[in-house]
């Protein structure tokens, strides 16, 4: 599947559904083709994605065209949130996720995808790692543990210990100014939703009620100077992240501060907006959306109700290949194993 991730909307569902989900670097995947999610307004997007499905046959996804045409290969559309969100792949395994990413990513010179024009070559792993020797894993212990249920934190810590056994080195650090970054992300995220809502409505397209409500609140409470200040904060924090990634290869965090949220009565009919729960679920992922660094969610275990949850890793800009390498090694060697029917042949061993 393909989705848009503006705070964790690909990675978090992947974690809850025994899947692998990637948020690519901002600008890595063209934004042209993302829309408000109304199929009747997305004919050009569907035509473009059919072409993508055909191209995927050259990248090892022989079933893509068949799945797309039969609607078993489902494509999910989200609002185009220009600076915090990117379209990313979700699949059963890191291998399939990497192959779909290779199809999606790359330069697009069409209007609407200007961010994709300056980027290095798109690469995915060709071999499977034999160990994690030399890998530096950044950990902010106080951030990772604060408010995280034991059901999520303890398996996360065990996986870190396993990574150490495989040769990885833990680099401790403190993620600075988190509360400021969370506020700035919300400012940018909601402001860009509001601008897209206006654009879609001017084109006669429909948007969901919740999104329209956010847009109206944003228009009444936020000024252009607030958005400008939020982006100054982003610039500062990108420099901080650049410095952090000069000392470590990846940053590892738990999936979220919440296990799976129960579906309430009527939710399947009307949906539900719960800002507090959304904040807990996206507590770790949205910081990386804000600065545009890629992140991946891989499976870690199941809670007491046998609901899956994941392990989140982020890397420096354009370093998706590193995340896929580590994710594939984890799935091939880590103690937790998926059901056999969810496995596909791994990358070849070097």
User: What would the DSSP string read from start to end of 23-49?
Assistant: EPPTTTS--TT--SS-GGG-HHHHHHH
Cα 87 to Cα 33: distance, rounded to the nearest angstrom: 10
Most confident of 23-32, 141-150, 168-177, 337-346: 168-177
pLDDT of residue 58: 56
What are the two backbone dihedrals, phi and then psi, of residue 138, each rounded to the nearest 5 degrees?
Answer: -80, 135
Q: Above pLDDT 90, what percent of the chain?
A: 47
Nearest to 10 by CA among 83, 68, 85: 85
Cα 60 to Cα 96: distance, rounded to the nearest angstrom: 8
CB 79 within 8 A of CB 4: yes
What's the average model confidence in pLDDT over 200-227?
72
134/84: higher pLDDT: 134
Cα 94 to Cα 99: distance, rounded to the nearest angstrom: 9
320/18: higher pLDDT: 320
CB 309 within 8 A of CB 91: no
pLDDT, mean over the chain: 80
CB 214 within 8 A of CB 191: no
pLDDT of residue 238: 95
CB 27 within 8 A of CB 120: no
CATH of domain 2-42+77-349: 3.90.1300.10
Kindly report whether the global pTM for this prediction surpasses the value 0.85. no
What's the length of the chain? 350
pLDDT of residue 71: 30
pLDDT of residue 306: 76
Cα 265 to Cα 94: distance, rounded to the nearest angstrom: 35
Is the pLDDT score of 103 beyond 90?
yes
Cα 181 to Cα 28: distance, rounded to the nearest angstrom: 22
pLDDT of residue 176: 93
* Separation of first and last alpha carbons in the chain: 29
Strand order in the sheet with 308-315: 2-5, 86-91, 20-23, 295-302, 308-315, 250-254, 136-139, 169-172
Residue reference for tokens 């995915």 = 124
Least confident of 313-322, 328-337, 341-350: 341-350
pLDDT of residue 273: 67
Using the 8-state DSSP alphabet, how is residue 75 labeled? Answer: B
**Which stretch of DSSP H or E encloses residue 89?**
strand 86-91
CB 139 within 8 A of CB 252: yes
Q: Enumerate the β-bridge partners of residue 20.
A: 91
Which residues have a Cβ under 8 Å from the Cβ of 273 and sit 6 or more positions away?
210, 213
């Amino acid at each position: 599947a393909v989705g848009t991730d503006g705070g964790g909307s690909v990675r978090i569902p992947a974690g809850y559904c025994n899947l692998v989900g990637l948020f690519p670097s901002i600008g890595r995947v063209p934004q042209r083709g993302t829309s408000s999610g109304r199929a009747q307004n997305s004919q050009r997007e569907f035509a473009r994605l059919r072409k993508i499905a055909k191209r995927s046959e050259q990248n090892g996804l022989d079933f893509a065209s068949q799945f797309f045409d039969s609607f078993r290969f489902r494509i999910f559309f989200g609002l185009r949130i220009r600076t915090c969100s990117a379209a990313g792949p979700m699949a059963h395994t890191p291998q399939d996720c990497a192959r779909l990413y290779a199809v999606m990513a790359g330069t697009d010179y069409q209007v609407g995808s200007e961010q994709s024009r300056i980027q290095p070559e798109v690469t995915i792993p060709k071999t499977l790692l034999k160990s994690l020797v030399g890998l530096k894993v950044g950990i902010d212990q106080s951030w990772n543990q604060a408010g995280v249920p034991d059901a999520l934190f303890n398996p996360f810590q065990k996986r870190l210990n396993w990574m150490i056994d495989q040769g990885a080195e833990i680099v401790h650090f403190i993620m600075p100014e988190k509360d400021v970054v969370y506020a700035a992300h919300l400012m940018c995220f909601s402001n860009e939703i509001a601008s897209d809502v206006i654009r879609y409505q001017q084109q006669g397209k429909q948007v969901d009620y919740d999104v329209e409500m956010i847009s109206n609140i944003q228009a009444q409470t936020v000024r252009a100077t607030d958005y400008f200040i939020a982006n100054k904060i982003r610039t500062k924090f990108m420099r901080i992240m650049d410095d952090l990634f000069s000392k470590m290869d990846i940053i590892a965090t738990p999936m979220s501060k919440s296990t799976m949220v129960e579906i309430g009565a009527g939710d399947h009919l009307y949906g539900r907006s719960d800002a507090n729960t959304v904040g807990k679920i996206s507590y770790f992922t949205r910081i990386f959306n804000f600065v545009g660094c890629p992140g991946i969610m891989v499976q870690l275990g199941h809670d007491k109700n046998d609901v899956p949850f994941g392990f989140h890793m982020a890397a420096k800009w354009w370093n998706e290949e590193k995340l896929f390498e580590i994710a594939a090694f984890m799935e091939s060697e880590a103690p937790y194993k998926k059901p056999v029917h969810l496995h596909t042949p791994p990358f070849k061993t070097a």
